[in-house]
Amino acid sequence: MIRKATKEDLAQVLTLVKELAIYENQPQAVTATLSDYEENFDANVFETLVAIEDEKVVGMALYFMVWSTWKGRMLYLEDFVVSHEYRKQGIGKQLFDTLIETAKQLKAKRIKWQVLDWNEPAIEFYKKYPTVFDKEWINGDLYLE
C-alpha cells in the first residue's frame, strides 16, 4: 500500500534515510534528528509518500515543491528508497508511479532528483521512465553548519 506519510511514520522514514546513507557509503552524513523531521513535517517543509508492507514502512519518497525560473512549479525528490529486503518486488515502481501522479496533481512541470553516478541499480530503474540524465550541470552545495 502506498500512502502519504503521517508524523507517526517519520521514525521509520528516518531509518530508511540512514539505510540509504549506509548504501551510499555516507552513514556519518545523516545529522538530521527525528525532532528535525517532526518540526519540518509540521511546518510543511516536505512531504513523504510511504510504502507499507506488513504494517511497516518499507519504502519512501521524500519530496518538496520548488520553483524553476525557466519552467515553473517543480517537485524535487530528495530521497527515494525501498528497504533492501523489499527490493525487486515492484514496490519502487508503485511508489515512483504514485510520486508522478502526485506531481501531476500538484501541477508540477517536472520532477527533479539526483542519483550517484555509480548507483547502477537506481540508474537502471530510472531508465524505465522517460528520464533525462543531465551531464552538463555541476551540483553545488554550501553548508551553513
Gap between the Cα atoms of 102 and 95, Å rounded: 10
- The per-residue pLDDT for range 21-55, each reduced to its tens digit, is 999 999 999 999 999 999 999 999 999 999 999 99
**Residue 6 structural domain:** 2-126
Let me know if residue 135 belongs to a domain: no
Question: How far apart are alpha carbons 82 and 29 in whole angstroms?
Answer: 19
Give a yes or no: residue 39 inside a domain.
yes
Q: Round the average pLDDT of the chain to a whole number and report it.
A: 96
Write the CATH number for 88: 3.40.630.30
Q: Does 19 map to a domain?
A: yes
Distance between CA atoms of 115 and 122, rounded to whole angstroms? 7
- Rounded CA-CA distance 56/113 in Å is 25
Question: Which residues have a catalytic role annotated?
Answer: 126
- Give pTM, 2 decimals: 0.94
137's grid cell: 550541470
Please indicate, yes or no, if residue 138 is contained in any of the structural domains.
Answer: no
What is the number of domains present in the chain?
1
